[in-house]
């Protein structure tokens, strides 16, 4: 059960954050924020390994009793983080990868919009609707 989806910019500024329960938003902000540490470390690690084909999916970043956070980083260093409920055992790695792919595609489409400046917070309504849909479907 994905509870929150977030996009983080190249310089680690928040681009977009959407969660099911608005009251938890600040908490998710904190989780996402701390996840950046892991993401950065993982990126450094993968750079060191020097493989050409980089795995975009970063896997589990953080887990606590309540939530688990999975990360994904695009080639342009845009980070996507999905936070899911720890009690949910339905979502396997493959499902999460699929969600990431969809989110990545959505982001690609967003960047294709000439009126969107990369790096700005995302305000697109259609993008928001898409993320909402994913949140709703995966829960």
- Which residues is 67 bridged to in the sheet? 85
Nearer to other proteins, 34 or 76 (CB): 34
- Nearer to other proteins by Cβ, of 13 and 87: the residue is 13
32 versus 83: smaller Cβ distance to other proteins:
32
Looking at the Cβ atoms of 32 and 106, the one nearer to other proteins is 32
**Residues in contact with other proteins by the rule CB under 8 A:** 9, 11-14, 25-26, 29-30, 32-34, 36-38, 41-42, 45, 62-63, 65, 117, 120-121, 123
Find the shortest distance in angstroms from Cβ 98 to other proteins: 25
Least separation in angstroms between residue 29's CB and other proteins is: 5
Phi and psi (nearest 5°) for 64? -130, -175
Of 105, 53, 97, whose CA–CA distance to 78 is shortest?
105
CB 74 within 8 A of CB 107: yes
What is residue 115's three-state secondary structure?
Answer: coil
Contact predicate 100/82, CB 8 Å: yes
């Amino acid at each position: 059960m994905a509870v929150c989806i977030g996009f983080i910019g190249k310089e680690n500024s928040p681009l977009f954050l959407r969660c099911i329960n608005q009251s938890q938003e600040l908490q998710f902000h904190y989780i996402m924020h701390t996840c950046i540490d892991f993401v950065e470390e993982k990126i450094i690690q993968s750079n060191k390994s020097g493989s050409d084909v980089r795995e975009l999916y970063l896997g589990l970043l953080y887990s606590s009793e309540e939530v688990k956070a999975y990360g994904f980083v695009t080639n342009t260093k845009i980070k996507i983080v999905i936070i899911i409920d720890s009690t949910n055992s339905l979502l396997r790695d493959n499902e999460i990868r699929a969600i990431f792919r969809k989110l990545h595609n959505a982001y690609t489409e967003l960047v294709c919009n000439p009126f969107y400046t990369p790096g700005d917070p995302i305000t697109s309504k259609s993008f928001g609707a898409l993320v909402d849909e994913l949140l709703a479907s995966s829960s």
